[in-house]
Copies of this chain bind each other. A is one copy, B any other.
């Protein structure tokens, strides 16, 4: 029988490698599949359903805990972006393995926790939530920062639109079509004005989770912001780009880092990640090196 197996085993040669380029940031973004239909069936509240967002965040926290190699995650609506550091060697950086592990772990917790967040709307198969995902590489830290900014700007744009649209419909009694029509071509200030003048709503007072989305990271002691020195383009940052070598020489070092990261608490924040401040006070996110654990008073 072993012979038989050998006879067929050649099919393994068709598997093609999908290792991601070393020393690049890896962003795994997952998106809800057909969530429009899902939000209808389970009566999600418009424009934002707090239970749904809390459920997304709870599932994402579990993913962060399960995979200490993740250094930050950002969620908005039914999407979530998980970020691996350039030094990450998890699963030898195989793309499909990284993406499916995150998608599956997220889905498992999302389904498992559903009843906690939607006690009155039990899941009804075949209408179960599911997610697709993909991995994208970003070579420079600037590119990663810009990716994160892109998602948060997108969050803002969509939330301002949705808040205005659903206020016009729900409080203003307009039809969906009319509201859509009126909003066509408007800019941010127009929408702010509609909200304020017609409905007395100051958009700035909306909840931060809706306006900023959710940022997940491991909590260490915040650092003070140092005055910036002049950057010298001719000088190479010492630490940059030697991850490959390090990874090879000290796998045990990687395990140590993982253990340290597991000790840190994963926090859910709703803050600006476009400006430098967030990143400068939490240097461990971009450096990939754990900070000091917060001391108890």
**Chain A positions near chain B (C-beta within 8 angstroms):** 1-2, 4-5, 7-19, 21-24, 30, 33, 62, 65-66, 86, 95-97, 99-101, 103-105, 107-112, 123, 125-126, 128-143, 145-147, 149-150, 153-154, 156-157, 160, 187-188, 226, 228-242, 244-245, 248, 276, 279-280, 283, 287
Tell me how many chains of this kind the complex includes: 4
Could you say which residues of chain B place their CB within 8 Å of the CB of A112?
111, 123, 125, 128
Q: Check A96 against B130 for contact (C-beta < 8 Å).
A: no
How far, in whole Å, are A240 and B22 apart by their CA atoms in the complex?
Answer: 18
**Other-chain contact of A241, B7, B17, B139, B230 (Cβ < 8 Å):** B139
Query: In the assembly, what is the distance between CA of A22 and CA of B136, in Å?
Result: 11
Across the interface, which residues of B come within 8 angstroms of A229, CB to CB? 229-230, 232, 235
> How far, in angstroms, from A238 to B134 measured CA to CA in the complex?
29
A109 contact set on B, CB distance < 8 A: 125, 128
The distance in angstroms between the C-alpha atoms of A131 and B154, with both chains bound, is 31
Give the distance to chain B from A226, nearest Cβ to Cβ, in Å.
7
A and B contact pairs by CB, cutoff 8 A, 23 listed:
A10-B146, A11-B147, A13-B244, A14-B21, A14-B22, A16-B17, A17-B17, A33-B101, A62-B126, A86-B139, A104-B133, A108-B128, A112-B125, A112-B128, A139-B139, A139-B140, A140-B241, A141-B236, A142-B237, A146-B241, A231-B235, A231-B238, A233-B239
Contact partner of A233 (CB less than 8 A), chosen from B108, B237, B241, is B237
Chain B residues whose CB sits within 8 angstroms of the CB of A24 once the complex forms: 21, 24, 139
The one of B5, B96, B126 in contact with A96, judged by C-beta atoms closer than 8 angstroms, is: B96
* CB <8 Å contact, A11 and B146: yes
- Point out the residues of chain B lying under 8 angstroms from A141, CB to CB: 236, 240-241
Across-interface contacts of A153 in B (CB, < 8 A): 1, 4-5, 8
Q: Which residues of B contact A150 (CB under 8 A)?
A: 5, 8-9, 11-12
Complex interface: chain B residues within 8 A of A96 (CB)? 95-96, 99, 132-135
CA A27 to CA B77, docked complex, whole Å = 32
Task: Given the known inter-chain contacts A1-B188, A107-B107, please indicate yes or no for A14 contacting B143, CB distance below 8 A.
Answer: yes
Task: Tell me the minimal C-beta distance from A290 to chain B in angstroms.
Answer: 15
- In this complex, what residue of B is CB-closest to A110? B108
In the complex, what residue of chain B is closest to A132 when comparing beta carbons? B100
> Which residues of B have CB within 8 Å of A157?
1-2, 5
Known: A14-B22, A14-B138. Contact between A280 and B234, CB under 8 A?
A: yes
